[in-house]
Structure 1
Amino acid sequence: MVGLEVARQAGGSPRRPTAVWAAAGAWAGSLVTVTVGLVLGGGNPSPYLLVDSVQGLVYPAVGGLVAARRPRNPVGWLLVGIGAAHGLDVLTGALLLRGVPLAAWAENWLWFPGLGTLTAVLPFVVPDGRPPGRRWRPFLLLSAGTVGLATLVAMAQPTIQGRPGELLTNPVGVPGAAAAVGPAFVLYLTCSVVAVASFVRRWMTSDRDMRRALLPVLVAVVVVVLALVTVKAVQELGGGPAAGPLVQAVVLPLIPVSVAVSVLRHRLFDIELVLRRSVVYLVLAVLLGAVYAALIFVTTGLLRHRFPTVPVTVATVGVALGFAPLRTVVQRAVSRVLFGDRDDPYAVLSALGHRLAAARRPGGALDGVTELVCRTLRVPAASLVGRNGTVVAATGTLPPAALRLPIVIDGEEEGELLVAPRAPGETFGRRDRELLEDLARSAGPALRSDRLAAELRRSRERLVAAREEERRRLRRDLHDGLGPALAAITLQLDVAEAQLTRDIRAAGELLAEVRRSAAHVVADMRRVVSDLRPAELDDLGLPAALDRVAERISPGGPAVSVRCAPLPALSAAVEVAAYRIVQEAVTNAVRHSGARRVTVDVAARDGELTVCVQDDGTGLRPDAVPGVGTESMRERAAELGGAVDTRSRAAGGTQVAARLPLEPR
């Protein structure tokens, strides 16, 4: 049941119940074996009884989890076997202390199958259960055979170690087996080196996903090796307490745990947390070990003869006092290397503020945002996407599974900040997301400023294009309309002049025709001039001109009323924009809303001219698309730095509200 429950927590119901029960049975057997061994050996325990006991419990538990989830992967079963060997070693060690004869024989060789499998076989098959290539398969078979052969050599030794200082005759010993110990040990070391080489080869030739799977194993091995070397060095330098078994009991379980993480890759553990803490405690162990060794070395030379226990005491106290502050410093340094400035959001936001303030060209600040995100958070790529979906700034190449953070200003989505994960399949933690959201909010004004600057450039381009188009139209009207008309009048005058001496009546008729032609020319001229700027504005001013608009609409349409507060002197551009916006808004109300009444309010306040046109018609449809007239009003206001808002009224009808700055922006 234990194995079944573990398998379910690891990712769903197991597909092979036999494997689950086998793994659970192996762990239960090891638990019983270790428990019995500890009970029997409690009176006079061996220093390494704790090491074997911990491994006899951890290896079968972790191996059973792997075997239950990956029954066809031999890695889980190898871990179970290694743990079983350690569990049996605990039991035989306890029986040896109790004086059981065969226990001495078993104790002399049971330790090796687990160690040999761990160092000479397991590196070949982590994490997928297969060697890194076909060329490595013979070496794997050779290593497995070597472990078995070395175990047989150990079993067949003529003499065996009994209790401490006691040599016994092996009841199943083989004469001459002692001579095979040296060659078997050399072969075993060679196979272990080849096994490690296969692991290194797999690392160097694999893709990023496989390297990420192997990384926990690599970190665990480095931590174990450095921890054991540090303890050994401390003991050799200062003769400190025999902490070797305790340290082994603490660090050796890192290996099966890391192997399980590598094989399953189901985020049974927080990879980021494991990685960071592993590196932190690795660096911390090295530093504290160096401090401990240095303190013992110095104090031993000074006080060894008078106070033999003082060096160890001083070193222990020094390490204890320095652990907490040193751990904080190391953890910050490691976190900065692995995850950037995530733990110091103020520094990141301050750097972003300086980068935005130092921008020398439009859009340059946004390039700095993406570069800053990548540098400070150690992410491979980031980009800023504008409101219309265009990429305005990018650093690196984004994968499809990038994190998307909307940038919202004043309730409107201005764009998105897209950030690539640090590694494929990795997700950002809570602190990462909070900092990225703060960065997105801080970059929002710069993104809006860039959009407005782009719109201003496009507006200026449209103004230039409109001016040139207006000049072209004027030239066409003058050339194609007024020019021929004036030429015709000139010809008619010449004919009339010639008729004056022969036929005064005909000359009079020609002059009447000339008068009518001249009237048409004057009308055309007025039309051209009116298209440039409404004459009513120059003749009457804005308030009276708006009254004329209302008068032209009211007789056959809805009642239009104009309320115009006292206005300051307005620029020609503001007058024309206000006049055209009112003209277009009233026309839309007459044509589309079915209104019976239209109200126009014009006032100047807070440096702006406000124009509000309201009707009591049907209002805007939810699916209504802005037409040419609405876009024209918006463009006229935007050209002056203003804005137009068109919406349905709560009381019914439509409202068009325009804000035009009195001074150009």
Structure 2
Amino acid sequence: MGRRFLTTGVAIAATLLCAAAAGLSGWVEARVPGTRPTVVGGVYAVVCAATGTALVHLRPRNAIGWLLVLAGLLQGLSLGSTAYARYGVGVADPDWPLARLVAQVGPMAWLPSLVLPATVLVAFYPSGRLPARWWRWPVAAVSVGLAVLTVVTSLTQSVYDDTASGPAPVDLPESLWVPVAVIAGGAVIGGASVIWGATMVRLVRAHPPERQQLAWLVCVVLPLVTAVFLVPDPAGWLVLPLGLMVPGAVLVGVVRYRLLGIVVSRALVYAALTTGVVVLYLAVAGATAAALGRTLSPVSGAVVAALLAVALSPARTRLQAAADRLVYGRRRDPVTAVTELGDRVAGADEADLLPAVLGTVAAALRAPAARVVAPGEPVPSDGVVAVALRVGGRDLGSLCVTERSPGEPFTAGDRRLLGALAPQVAAVVRALELTRSLERERDRVLTATHAERDRIRRDLHDGLGPSLAGIGLGVQAVQTRLGERADPSTAALLQRVRDEVDGAVGEVRRIIDGLRPAPLDDVGFVAAVRRHADALAPTVPVRVTAEPLPPLPPEVETAAYRIAQEALTNVARHAGAHSAEVGLRARDGRLEVAVVDDGAGFGPEDGDPRPAGVGLSSMRTRAAAVGGELTVTSGPGGTRVVAGLPLEAGR
């Protein structure tokens, strides 16, 4: 506590010094003819120092208070030294002590008193700390450049002549101070440009309340910078209010940021309009001076400024909408917010749909986060605004949006916008819920289908098939026993029964082969081929390359899988290959399945004694059944089996 009062006391002393300097300046102004009025500088110095003192007391750890105190002290030093030197050299007899030295050292202190609040203070605002370590470089460039520029310009005869008469105690040669001043000025301009560019990026990316704080400072400092550095010989009635607004804006932005609201929005609009009027006024004045050879008179200038203000009035609506969107988000334009939400729903992937929708809601409200709480789950009460989500009378939970803590809570406009967005979010949540239910039902049906298909396959393969085969063998045994003793009618009947049994066995085998392979439903066509290739890895390594494939008809997908499966099985059993490759791609409306190995190959099918011909015949039959063809090329270097199947069944 004692340290806090000590620092506050130092700041109060600095404020009193500024007041004393302003008083001395006013006293000299009344006694020295031709002295320029110094009311603006005096008021600015005292207000800056006093505002900095208040911040030092209220926020002792925030460096912004001391920056304002320093700005006030520098302005007071400029006023006090100028007044002391003018009276001490021009009126007093003999000269006041050190009056000539003071006339050269102090007057240029006004420069950093104006530049520091417009650059370094902006970098530290509003927390009193730099946003990142790299900010030290532009801040150092501005600080060092200002110090060098102030010193080298003070030690010149021309600056001394503005304050006192006679030779200056120190007069640097122009060849020395001009290059140094140019380099120092470049450092100041470069550092200030970086600070302001980064501040604009911060303004765009910041969340409330920092967004409002930065916007508040920007719309106050920019008009002051424009008036001081861009307007030639600005009037005191223009500079003084703008200058006093800077410390006031800093105090409100740091201590009472919750007061920022509609003020920031309006200030942004009028700052933009004011800047537009000033820039266009300067352009018109310059053009008039170039055309007529003279400058505008005060009356003409006032008329031009009024006409420009009227001409820019249609832009006010657009500027107001842009400022509201920057400060408040989309709460002033719910239709656009709902439209943006619909665009996100239309363009987002299903997996990212809900996060995209919640992100749009948070961005529209300038809120830190938004989430959906399921029915029955507890809804947070602190710092969260919750809206019920309902579709068709069904409770879907709550949409919870985090308030802009520690900034202002949600206003009535924010809640209306949230109410307009909630039904859209509810529709998305319900659609995702139905999609998940459909996926679960599909998985259940597929599981039941797989189980039933496996049961049928087992019954046919292990039950009906062997039974029919057994009947066939029994008939064959009867025929063998009877031999030639059977009368012709009995022999014909037995042969007919045997043929029927053989046909039934073939039909059972056809049904078993026609059942869709389970891996196609489990993992898909390409993954099923990879799975079969991995199963053959202990015998022969198989590499599968697949291009993106369009959706395939079930019968084409089944034929392609069976052909690839049969071809790989032949490679593993008969080719004696060291490696094989499967290529899957879609070309010219056809699915191409290519199986290539580096085995021994074989000759023409009619001369090939190996049983591989049965497999090739089966693959050709499957390809022809869906309207495709099979090409086989074999030689000493290996075998290539290529099946071309239509992407649309029946073509």
TM-score normalized with structure 1 length? 0.48
TM-score normalized with structure 2 length? 0.48
